[in-house]
Amino acid sequence: MTVKISHTAEVQDLIKEAAGFNSDQGSPRLKQLMHRLISDAFKIIEDLEVTEDEFWLAVDRLNKVGAHAEFGLLLPGLSMEHFMDLLQDAKDQQIGLAGGTPRTIEGPLYVANAPLSEGFARMDDGSEDDVGIPLFIKGTVLNTDGKPVAGAIVDLWHANTNGTYSYFDESQSAFNLRRRIKTDAEGRYTARSIIPSGYGVNPEGPTQECLSALGRHGQRPAHIHVFVSAPEHRHLTSQINLAGDKYLWDDFAYATREGLVGEARLLDNADASKAHGLDGRQFAELEFDFVLQPAVNADDEHRSQRPRAGQ
C-alpha cells in the first residue's frame, strides 16, 4: 500500500521553506523552479515507491556525472536538449513563424572564437592527411524569401577521424576542425576539411552506465555542428548529419532531423582532385544551404547564454 504525505500541510510548508519562500533574499525565479522541482521529486518518490537504496544510488550516479563533467552528454541522451528544440518549434508555430533550416541540439563541445575567414577556410591542420578523406563543404545562406544573406557568419566544428574534438582532445592543435566563415556578397561559404567520424560517449563513464541500464547505446552518427548568424535574422543552431551512417536515425542524442541530412559524395576525378591541390587523391564534396528566419527582436540574433569553452 502506497503511503502519500506530500500533500499534507507539514510537507507543503517544508517544500516552501526548502525553496526559500520564507526569505526575502535570493532569486524569485530560482525559488519558483526549485519549488516545482522539489514538489515533483517528492511525488515521484511517493508514486514509484522509491527505496532508500534507490535514492542514494541515484545521488551517487549524479555525483559521478558531475565529477566526469558529463551532464552535457547525459541530458541530450535523455532527450532533454531535443525536447527544448521541440518546445521552441511549437512556440514558433503558435506565433506563425515558419520556414528556415531546422534547429537541433548544440551539444557540449563548442569552443568560442574560432579563426574567422572571408568566404573560404581550411578547417583541418593537415595532421590527418594520411588517414582522412578531404571534404569540401559549400553552400549558400539564404533568407526565407530565397535571397542570399551576405556577411552571415557560418561557425563550423566537428570531430576528427577518431571521433574527438580539438580543445577537449589535447593532442589536437588549437581550433583544429573549427572555423568561422563570413559569407560573400552572394551568401556563399566554402570550407575544406576532412570527413568526420561518428563517435560514442566514454564506454567507462557514467553516461554510458546510465544508458546501458536503460538498454541503450551511446553512439552518434558522423555530423558537422553549425551556428549561422546575421544581423536582422534569427540565430541558427543546427547540424549536418552525414547520410549513410548506421546511426543516422539511431542517434543517442536525438539530433538527426528531417532537413538536416547531407550527402558527402566521394569523387575519384583525378583532374578535379589535382585542381584542389590533392595530387589525384580521392575526396568528397558536401553541399548544404542554410535558410535563416527573420529576427522578431534583437535577442533572436544571438545564441543562447549557456556556458561555453573559450568565452
**Residues 269-282: tens digit of each pLDDT:** 887 888 888 888 89
Grid cell in block for residue 54: 534507490
On the question of pLDDT at 303 being above 80, the answer is: yes
Question: Where does residue 269 fall: left (phi above 0), alpha (psi -120 to 50 degrees), or beta otherwise?
Answer: beta
* HSE-up (13 A, CA, CB side) for residue 278: 24
On the question of pLDDT at 1 being above 90, the answer is: no
Enumerate the H helices of 48-79 as residue ranges.
52-67, 71-77
**Residues 89-138: tens digit of each pLDDT:** 999 999 999 999 999 999 999 999 999 999 999 999 999 999 999 999 99
C-alpha 40/C-alpha 257 separation (Å) is 31
CB-neighbour burial class of residue 19 (10 A; exposed 0-12, middle 13-18, buried 19+): buried
pTM: 0.95
**Residues 208-262: tens digit of each pLDDT:** 999 999 999 999 999 999 999 999 999 999 999 999 999 999 999 999 999 999 9
Are 263 and 286 in contact by the 8 Å Cβ rule? The answer is yes
Which helix (H) or strand (E) segment holds residue 44: the answer is: helix 28-47
